[in-house]
Amino acid sequence: MRVGEEIVHTAAEGNGPVNALDNALRKALETIYPEVAALRLLDYKVRVLEEKAGTEAQVRVLIETGNGKETWGTVGVSTNIIEASWQALADSMAYGLLGEK
């Protein structure tokens, strides 16, 4: 991913693919934005939007994040749960960093 003017390649492990994605995102950002360490994922929810579509259904991922002073929510939507999670995670980090600047 591009972090500022730098391209960062990283990988991480976690308790499942979404936690690994969160860990990799933090690992990529923390060297340039140490404020990321204060951001905490408080809640993670997945909702199926088109129940009758079965495994082809779109999902909505809702993430609540906090920094000890305030909390905010972000959303990702996709037919791919990992993509929807990425959208919500990336937006939560971006919002948290914008609030710190």
Query: Which tens digit of pLDDT belongs to each residue from 31-89?
Result: 889 999 999 999 999 999 988 888 889 999 999 999 999 999 999 999 999 999 999 99
Task: Quickly state the pLDDT bin for 100 (edges 50, 70, 90).
Answer: low
Report the C-alpha gap between 25 and 30 in whole angstroms.
9
Whether 101 has a pLDDT exceeding 60, the answer reads: no
Superfamily for domain range 2-100 = Alpha-isopropylmalate synthase LeuA, regulatory domain (3.30.160.270)
Q: What is the pLDDT of residue 99?
A: 74
Residue 91 neighbours by CB under 8 Å, 6+ apart:
74, 75, 76
Whether 8 has a pLDDT exceeding 90, the answer reads: no
Query: What's 68's DSSP letter?
Result: S
Contact present, 82 and 62 (Cβ < 8 Å): no
Q: Buried (b) or exposed (e) across 48-74, using 16+ Cβ within 10 A?
A: eeeeeeeeeeebebebbbbbeeeebeb
